[in-house]
């Protein structure tokens, strides 16, 4: 069942709960490698990528268990095989996040290079550069990064560009290094802050997470901890954009409103009424959305992981929107598919000029990556008739129970063969 059929044309109404954040859960699971004591996690989403990470860690000797009440316990008392195979790494780039922790804890690591990806080349040179600055020896052999270090030592690392997993990898490595590390031009994403919170609970000494300067005082060892993974701000933004495009009134619970200011501002600009009550967000829109232009950039600016969803919104908005992608060089694959639904989109370099149309028509489309598929689902919710999105396994990587949640909001969606 790898297709999703969406019958469009209904406003969204109702309430759903947001899951834990994929992009926080993945690095936090890798943090377990830094300690011989168990890490107990709550609010870990049930996602394909989370299962892949559990499998990857399991291959190293880490015991990963999810109890019926949803708690995930990771026990890395014994790491027998500090390596990440190409078979798993090629299915999930975030696997590179084991490199820093393995080097710091075991003094060695053999991790497959991730290779290219649908949205861009996505090299890991900044991860390697930072670890080398901390004294690691890293060579590329047969597609693998072969890394070793007797003990990493603190360093001042100025990253050439803002990288989220690069910051996370180096922050984890520095937690067990000798001396102090200063990460400059660091990523400020909320997921970086959530990881730092978990590491601090394990005994790490970290200051400045959330700013572009993070200072880490290495310690000889880390303990166990309990941590609740933050809510998924991209899942939150996706449902809000869906409601803004389809019309209606929804409530999202269990969110972190402060982590998606840029998205909420743009939705207000489109004409949505947004109210925040603690960790709940209400969105209501009674008219056709207005066209809003967005430009992706590192946090706290507008998230690249919300770009496709806002392109779908722009397809039916009143007016013309400019969607500019500055982070990934090939993140407009969904534009071609949206044109199949009758969207008016012109690509000019890293900008898409989207002229809103009165209505889209349902059609068969192909998902190319996680967020592109979310954009196609939103367009399908608005289009007349049926839209069938193929290769929805992309969605399962990052959205927990998407059909169930959309159905709870009154949408007509079903998985078909």
- 255 phi and psi, to 5 degrees? -100, 175
User: Which pair of tokens denotes residue 372?
Assistant: 């592109």
CA–CA–CA angle 213, 219, 221 (5° rounding):
130
Residue in 35, 43, 52, 165 binding ligand EPZ, rule: CB under 6 A: 165
Q: Which of the ranges 2-10, 98-106, 122-130, 379-387 carries the binding residues for ligand EPZ, by CB under 6 A?
A: 122-130
DSSP letters of 58-125? HHHT-EEEE-TTS-EEEE-S--S--EE-HHHHTT-GGGGGGHHHHHHHHSEEEEE----BTTB----H
Compute the least distance from the CB of residue 298 to ligand EPZ, in Å: 7
Interaction between residue 145 and ligand EPZ (CB under 6 A): no
Q: Which residue stretch of 50-58, 62-70, 120-128, 243-251 sits at the interface with ligand EPZ (rule: CB under 6 A)?
A: 120-128
Closer to ligand EPZ by CB, 122 or 288: give it. 122
**Segment interacting with ligand EPZ (CB under 6 A) among 124-132, 194-202, 207-215, 251-259:** 124-132
CB of 190 to ligand EPZ, least distance (A): 11
161 binds ligand EPZ (CB under 6 A): yes
Piece of the chain touching ligand EPZ by CB under 6 A; list 78-86, 125-133, 312-320, 333-341: 125-133
CA end-to-end span of the chain: 4
Of 287, 282, 195, nearest to 246 by C-alpha is 287
Edge-first strand listing for the sheet containing 280-285? 12-17, 248-253, 280-285, 273-277
Four-point Cα dihedral 399, 403, 405, 411, nearest 10: 130
Among 106, 117, 198, 315, the active-site one is 117
Rule CB under 6 A: which of 24-83 touch ligand EPZ? 26
Cα atoms in the Cβ-side hemisphere of radius 13 Å centred on 310: 33
Lay out the site mask for ligand EPZ across 358-377 (x = CB under 6 A, - = otherwise). ------------xx------
β-strand partners of 148: 108, 137
Count of residues near ligand EPZ by CB under 6 A: 25
Q: How far is the CB of 323 from ligand EPZ (least distance, A)?
A: 15
Shortest Cβ distance from residue 186 to ligand EPZ (Å)? 11
Find residue 66's DSSP bridge partners. 72
Whether omega for the bond prior to residue 300 falls within 30 degrees of 0, making it cis, is yes
Q: Is position 117 annotated as part of the catalytic site? A: yes
* Neighbouring C-beta atoms of residue 133, cutoff 10 Å: 17
Q: How many CB atoms lie within 10 A of CB 92?
A: 21
- Least gap, CB of 387 to ligand EPZ (angstroms): 21
User: Does 398 sit near ligand EPZ (CB under 6 A)?
Assistant: yes
Least CB distance from residue 49 to ligand EPZ, whole Å?
A: 8
For residue 123, state whether it binds ligand EPZ (rule: CB under 6 A). Answer: yes
Residue 195 contacts residue 31 (beta carbons within 8 Å)? yes
Question: Binding to ligand EPZ by residue 305, rule CB under 6 A?
Answer: yes
Instruction: Specify the residue, 118 or 363, whose C-beta has the smaller distance to ligand EPZ.
Output: 118
- What would the DSSP string read from start to end of 279-323? TEEEEEE-SPPBP--EEB-STTSB-GGGHHHHHHHHHTSBSEEEE
* Separation CA 363–CA 342 (nearest Å): 9
Of 70, 116, 120, 143, the residue at the interface with ligand EPZ (CB under 6 A) is 120
Helix H or strand E encompassing 348: strand 344-348
The candidate with the shortest Cα–Cα distance to 78, out of 99, 95, 57, 56, is 57
Q: Which of 164, 214, 225, 312 is close enough to bind ligand EPZ by CB under 6 A?
A: 164
Give 251 or 371: the residue with its C-beta nearer to ligand EPZ: 371
Per-residue x/- track, 195-214, ligand EPZ (CB under 6 A): --------------------
Q: Among residues 124 and 352, whose Cβ is nearest to ligand EPZ?
A: 124
For residue 149, the minimal CB distance to ligand EPZ (Å) is 19
The one among 144, 328, 332, 399 contacting ligand EPZ by CB under 6 A: 328
Residues lying near ligand EPZ in the complex (CB under 6 A) are found at: 23, 26, 93-94, 120-127, 161, 163-166, 191, 304-305, 327-328, 370-371, 398
Query: Which sequence positions are flagged as catalytic?
Result: 117
């Amino acid at each position: 069942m790898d297709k999703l059929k969406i019958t469009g044309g209904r406003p969204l109404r109702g309430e759903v709960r947001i899951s834990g954040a994929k992009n926080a859960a993945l690095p936090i699971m890798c943090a377990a490698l830094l300690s011989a004591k168990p890490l107990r996690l709550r609010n870990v989403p049930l996602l394909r990528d989370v299962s892949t990470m559990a499998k990857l860690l399991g291959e190293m000797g880490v015991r990963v268990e999810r109890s019926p009440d949803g708690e995930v316990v990771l026990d890395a008392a014994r790491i027998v095989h500090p390596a990440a195979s190409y078979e798993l790494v090629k299915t999930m780039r975030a696997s590179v996040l084991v490199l820093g922790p393995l080097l710091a804890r075991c003094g060695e690591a053999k991790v497959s290079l991730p290779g290219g990806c649908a949205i861009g080349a996505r090299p890991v040179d900044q991860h390697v550069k930072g670890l080398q600055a901390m004294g690691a020896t890293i060579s590329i052999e047969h597609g693998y990064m072969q890394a070793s270090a007797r003990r990493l030592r603190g360093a001042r690392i100025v990253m050439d560009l803002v990288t989220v997993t690069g910051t996370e990898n180096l922050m984890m490595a520095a937690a067990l290094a000798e001396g102090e590390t200063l990460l400059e031009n660091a990523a400020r994403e909320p997921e970086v802050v959530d990881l730092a919170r978990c590491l601090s609970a394990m005994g790490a000494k970290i200051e400045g997470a959330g700013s572009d300067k993070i200072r880490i005082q290495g310690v000889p060892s880390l303990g166990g901890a309990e941590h609740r993974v933050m809510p998924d701000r991209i899942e939150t933004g996706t449902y809000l954009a869906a409601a803004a495009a389809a019309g209606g009134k929804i409530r999202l619970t269990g969110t972190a409103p402060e982590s998606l200011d840029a998205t909420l501002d743009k939705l207000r600009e489109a004409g949505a009424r947004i109210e925040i009550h603690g960790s709940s967000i209400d969105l209501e829109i009674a008219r056709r959305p207005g066209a809003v232009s967005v430009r992706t950039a590192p946090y706290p600016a507008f998230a690249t992981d919300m770009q496709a969803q806002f392109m779908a919104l722009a397809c039916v908005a009143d007016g013309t929107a400019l969607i500019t992608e500055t982070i990934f060089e090939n993140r407009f694959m969904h534009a071609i598919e949206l044109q199949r639904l009758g969207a008016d989109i012109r690509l000019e370099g890293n900008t898409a000029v989207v002229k809103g149309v009165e209505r889209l028509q349902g059609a068969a489309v192909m998902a190319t990556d996680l967020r592109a598929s979310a954009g196609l689902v939103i367009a399908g919710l608005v289009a007349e008739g049926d839209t069938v999105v193929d290769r929805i396994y992309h969605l399962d990587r990052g959205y927990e129970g998407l059909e169930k949640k959309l159905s709870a909001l009154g949408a007509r969606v079903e998985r078909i063969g």
